[in-house]
């Protein structure tokens, strides 16, 4: 699936959704206005005194157009819906973690020894590395025994995956892969942000009904005596009528909003199912999970009411629809299964133990938290049997950008191979908060003995002797990594820099460590970032890898903390200078001389005909890594099509000389990460 096309479709869906909800709000305004006009026409006229007689004038003719009343109702409705939606959206501003923690989910620590949790973490890590995504945070709803899961976040950098305990304990590894593949599809297709917008707007409409219900409820204890004036009774009656109207109008709007939500959600579920099958090449995985949902009594039900607003987030229908299929956010299970397996017999999964949920509760049925049922999965982690790192694969500019955001079997197998080749101590360090900082520092150490000694002294100064001890132990494991440099004939040659640490393993190890680093307290994390900066500048020279590693780390940690992404540049002309910086840096990194750099730059610039006349190779002083850092920050706020064409141009610049250095490849991954574009591991050509 084309990542950029998926993002464009997500934006179109968002636009259509906004239009539909705008119609719903307009409907509420019009209904409220005509209701107010009708009620006001029925209200008795105020008594007047004529001489010694109280006189009630005849009702005036109803005027259907009352501008003052119309604008008052319009302003009030928009204010309530807008402010309530902004309030809910602000709750989500913390990204995926705030959504998961808001419904009571528990974060699974990267170093968890629980076999079920370890299996889930392995599956998520494999998929993230295969797709080139930052490894998402992983959460579990401990008290939910149904089979379900959801993904949430504002960007790929703050995304999380959350599963129920039933998903952990009842699914096989293949079935778990199918479910997680489905959720990764939502991450890559831009569905997460759309889901959050849906929730915020629906809450804004619902608040109108809740306000009306609150008004009515507040009048439940009002009593009148004979001394109460008629005017007081009339005021209370007017308030009650207004509350009733708000209640009815709000819930009518909410009803139609839920219909829109359900229609949008159902179609996306079929797409996510198909993407999961395409990724895992195992239709039995996701269909097995769906059959188990159909076979178990609890199915995919979620019990906690605070998750009801996330119904459209989930893998399967989490709550029973009050209006049959009209409010169902997911297609029926049999339709989803047959869409994948047209020859399915119709038979669901037969549970090994039948539980009568009407007679037995979760505790005596053995489903209470802390009482896992069934056999725990065997410890079949990839690191159990280290293997050689896989052969280096070609860098195809034509397919590299097209592969962005894709989930394919080739990428998945590639990630599994790479993880299988990493020694267990390195994987354990990436998942351990006490060792992850040492691992990141070790990745950046210089191969020169004298400089390395100075860098280790800096680590001791900033992070302490314990970090140095852990770093020293990890260095031997890192230096033992090896990778063959064989390359298929006819492909650009890959050059390996003079480094004792295998360059192919560096960024994947960093990806694995990022979720662990996110969990560090701010003081520890700031100390680590300061240490890294000292290590990078220890020799007064910043290498492309050092720059790439820092940029990836800062970007992924930054998106997790501040996931809001603004689009400030919609035209290529607005970022032409920054594009020239990127292409100039990439042209000079692998160039033998000035003429080779000029040729590489021209190759890349030729991919941007709209601004090719404004692009020129910058002199060395204007195309440093420090200048690139500023340029990338600005390009991160550019429109998606600009990012897509820039990545194509950058790839063509790199391969123009037929040679790809490891540093060029790492700079390219840093570029993609800064632009928030998931770049998968290269697949075999």
| Residues forming the active site | 183
Residue written as tokens 């990022």?
A: 514
Q: For residue 303, what are the contacts with CB-CB under 8 A and spacing of at least 6?
A: 143, 144, 146
Cα–Cα distances in angstroms (integers) from residue 216 to residues 225, 230, 241, in the given order: 20, 20, 9
Q: What residues have CB less than 8 Å from 561, skipping those under 6 apart?
A: none
Tokens coding 220:
């439940």
Q: How far is CA 672 from CA 538, 544, 581, 668, 676, in A?
A: 27, 15, 15, 6, 6
CB 166 within 8 A of CB 145: yes
> Tokens 């590894």 appear where?
173
In this structure, are strands 659-661 and 106-107 parallel, antiparallel, or unpaired? unpaired
Rounded CA separation 374/356 (Å): 18
> DSSP per residue over 526-576, as a string?
HHHHHHHHHHHTTTS---HHHHHHHHHHHHHHHHHH-------B-SGGGGH
For the chain, count helices (H), then strands (E): 24, 8
Tokens of 285: 């995985």
Q: Give exposure, 159-195, as e/b (b: 16+ Cβ within 10 Å).
A: bbbbbbbbbbbbbeeebbbbbbbbbbbbbbbbbbbbb
In what helix (H) or strand (E) does residue 306 lie, and over which residues does it extend? none
Phi then psi for residue 569, to 5 deg, are -125, 115
């Amino acid at each position: 699936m084309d990542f950029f096309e998926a993002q464009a479709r997500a934006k179109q869906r968002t636009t259509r959704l906004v239009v539909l909800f705008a119609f719903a709000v307009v409907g509420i305004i019009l209904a409220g206005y005509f209701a107010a006009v009708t009620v006001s026409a029925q209200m008795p006229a105020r008594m007047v005194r004529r001489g010694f007689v109280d006189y009630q004038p005849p009702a005036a003719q109803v005027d259907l157009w009352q501008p003052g009343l119309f604008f008052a109702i319009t302003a009030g409705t928009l204010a309530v819906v807008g402010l309530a939606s902004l309030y809910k959206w602000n709750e989500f501003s913390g990204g995926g973690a705030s959504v998961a923690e808001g419904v009571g989910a528990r974060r699974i620590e990267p170093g968890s020894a629980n076999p079920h949790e370890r299996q889930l973490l392995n599956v998520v890590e494999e998929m993230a590395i295969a797709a080139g995504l930052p490894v998402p945070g992983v959460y579990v709803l401990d008290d939910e025994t149904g089979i379900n899961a959801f993904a949430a976040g504002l960007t790929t950098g703050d995304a999380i995956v959350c599963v129920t305990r039933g998903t952990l304990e009842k699914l096989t590894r293949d079935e778990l892969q199918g479910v997680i593949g489905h959720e990764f599809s939502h991450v890559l297709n831009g569905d997460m942000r759309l889901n959050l917008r849906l929730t915020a707007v629906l809450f804004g409409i619902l608040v109108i009904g809740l306000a009306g219900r609150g008004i009515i409820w507040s009048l439940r204890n009002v009593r009148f005596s004979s001394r109460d004036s008629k005017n007081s009774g009339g005021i209370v009656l007017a308030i009650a009528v207004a509350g009733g109207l708000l209640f009815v109008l709000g819930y009518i709007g909410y009803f139609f909003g839920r219909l829109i939500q359900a229609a949008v959600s159902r179609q996306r579920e079929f797409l996510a199912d198909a993407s999961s099958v395409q990724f895992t090449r195992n239709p039995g995985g996701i269909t097995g999970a769906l059959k188990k949902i159909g076979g178990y009594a609890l199915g995919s039900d979620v019990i906690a009411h605070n998750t009801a607003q996330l119904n459209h987030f989930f893998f399967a229908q989490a709550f029973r629809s009050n209006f049959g299929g009209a409010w169902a956010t997911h297609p029926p299970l049999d339709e989803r299964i047959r869409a994948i397996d047209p020859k399915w017999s119709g038979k669901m999964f037969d549970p090994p133990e039948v539980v009568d949920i009407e007679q037995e509760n979760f505790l005596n049925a053995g489903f209470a938290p802390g009482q896992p049922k069934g056999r725990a999965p065997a410890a079949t982690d990839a690191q159990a049997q280290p293997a050689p790192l896989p052969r280096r694969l070609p860098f195809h500019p034509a397919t590299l950008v097209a592969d962005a955001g894709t989930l394919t079997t080739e990428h998945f197998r590639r990630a599994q191979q790479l993880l299988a080749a990493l020694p267990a101590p390195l994987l354990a360090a990436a998942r351990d908060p006490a060792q992850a900082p040492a691992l990141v520092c070790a990745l950046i150490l210089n191969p020169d003995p004298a400089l390395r000694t100075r860098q280790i002294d800096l680590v001791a100064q900033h992070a302490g002797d314990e970090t140095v001890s852990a770093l020293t132990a990890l260095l031997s494991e890192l230096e033992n990594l090896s990778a063959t440099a064989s390359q298929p004939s006819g492909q650009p040659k890959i050059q390996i820099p003079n480094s004792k640490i295998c360059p192919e393993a560096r960024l994947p190890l960093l990806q694995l460590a990022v979720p662990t680093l996110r969990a560090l307290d701010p003081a520890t994390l700031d100390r680590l970032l300061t240490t890294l900066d000292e290590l990078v500048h220890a020799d007064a020279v910043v290498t492309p890898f050092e720059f790439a590693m820092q940029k990836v780390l800062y970007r992924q940690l930054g998106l997790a903390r501040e996931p809001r992404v603004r689009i400030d540049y919609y035209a290529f002309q607005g970022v032409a200078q920054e594009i020239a910086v990127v292409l100039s840096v990439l042209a000079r990194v692998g160039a033998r001389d000035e003429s080779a750099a000029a040729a590489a730059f021209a190759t890349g610039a030729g991919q941007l005909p709209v601004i090719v006349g404004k692009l020129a190779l910058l002199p060395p002083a204007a195309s440093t890594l420090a200048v690139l850092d500023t340029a990338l920050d600005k390009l991160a706020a550019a429109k998606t099509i600009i990012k897509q064409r820039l990545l194509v141009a950058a790839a063509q610049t790199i391969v123009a000389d037929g040679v790809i250095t490891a540093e060029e490849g790492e700079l390219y991954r840093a570029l993609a990460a800064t632009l928030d574009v998931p770049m998968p591991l290269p697949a075999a050509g």
